[in-house]
Amino acid sequence: MMEKIETYRFVVEPFHVDFTGHLFMGVLGNHLLNAAGRHSHNRGWGIDQLNQRHYTWVLSRLSIELTETPAQYEHVEVETWVESVMKLFTERNFLIRNADDGRIYGYARSIWAMIDVETRQPSDLLELKDGDILRYVMTAAEKPCPIEKFRRVRKAAAAQTVQDSPNLAPSSTTIDTHYSDVDINGHINSIKYIEHILDLFPRQQYEHHRLRRLDIAYKAESYLGDTLTFCQEPTDGVFADGLPVACQIEVRKNMGADAKPEGESIVQAGLVWEGEERGESKEERVKSRE
């Protein structure tokens, strides 16, 4: 059973936390990908091994849900395992916990595809290496992942900013892509999208509200030189301070181009925050709900 699980450990370094002293979600995302990469490599399915056959892994979906965000200097361990393998996709789960006292910070779910590096088309996971990948599957009955599966994110309209909520991020923001956005596969790194999305929100959002859940779907690739437009639509209302409880984000590339003025939808994301301030105790949180 243990050969199906990989445990990856890291320390929350000071340069990986935000101004509240808690781990950046983008850094956590990188650690999850590192855990996935180590698990795959140690079982003969790593990117370096697949590249020899002209294949690679690409992330299709990622959902992270935290009841607590790791803090500076805490020791964290990530367990990862493959829940299912289909012809074109595989589901991989993560458990994130404190390595010292065992308390669980949260869980994550992901969906991956294996593609041909030349054609960029999905490849049959069950054909490569005679379906060896099936040896490492742990079903939900064997090891459950208690968070909801990926929440479908609808296309975000270019919603108008709520007039009485001046703290809301603009309904759309455009950025250019640069050298540091590009990964080894030659496209914009999946975690960079998360970082750009989280930069849409003001400091007050993170001072008073903790990001509880992130869902992100990667629909198409973008490359160095592409212009990305982030369209935001608040959902589920706002907190008392006018900040959004939840948002839908759609990322489009090269909007306004002559060939395709509306651009191409490449990423869709959904974010949900908790309403309590970080400094509240459990007792204060319970009382505020009564």
In a domain, 159, yes or no: no
Say what the pTM is. 0.88
Mean pLDDT of 61-65: 98
Q: Does one domain contain both 181 and 254?
A: yes
Name the residue among 172, 192, 176, 198 with its Cα closest to residue 250: 172
Q: Does one domain contain both 177 and 131?
A: no
In a domain, 229, yes or no: yes
Q: Does one domain contain both 115 and 61?
A: yes
Kindly report the CATH number assigned to the domain that includes residue 107: 3.10.129.10
Tokens describing residue 40: 């795959």
C-alpha 147, offset from chain centre:
14
Find tokens 């950025």 and name the residue: 175
Q: How far apart are CA 248 and CA 34, in angstroms?
A: 27
Q: Which of the 8 DSSP states describes residue 130?
A: G
Q: How confident is the model at residue 235 (pLDDT cuts 50, 70, 90)?
A: confident
Q: Range of 100's domain?
A: 2-136
Q: How many domains does the chain have?
A: 2
In a domain, 144, yes or no: no
Which pLDDT value is given to residue 288?
Answer: 42
In a domain, 156, yes or no: no
Q: How far apart are CA 13 and CA 167, in angstroms?
A: 30
Per the DSSP assignment, residues forming a β-bridge with 62 are 110, 216
Name the residue among 56, 159, 138 with its Cα closest to residue 94: 138
C-alpha 81, offset from chain centre:
17
Q: Where do runs of H (alpha helix) occur along the chain? A: 25-41, 47-51, 190-198, 203-208, 282-289
Q: How far apart are CA 40 and CA 44, in angstroms?
A: 6
Residues 115-133 have pLDDT tens digits of 998 898 999 999 988 999 9
Q: How far apart are CA 39 and CA 44, in angstroms?
A: 9
Q: Does one domain contain both 126 and 82?
A: yes
Residues 156-183 have pLDDT tens digits of 654 333 333 444 544 789 999 999 999 8
In a domain, 61, yes or no: yes
Cα distances (Å, whole numbers) of residue 149 to 41, 63, 208: 25, 8, 27
Q: How far apart are CA 166 and CA 158, in angstroms?
A: 17
Q: Does one domain contain both 202 and 262?
A: yes
In a domain, 55, yes or no: yes
Mean pLDDT of the chain: 88
Q: Does one domain contain both 187 and 67?
A: no
Q: Does one domain contain both 130 and 31?
A: yes
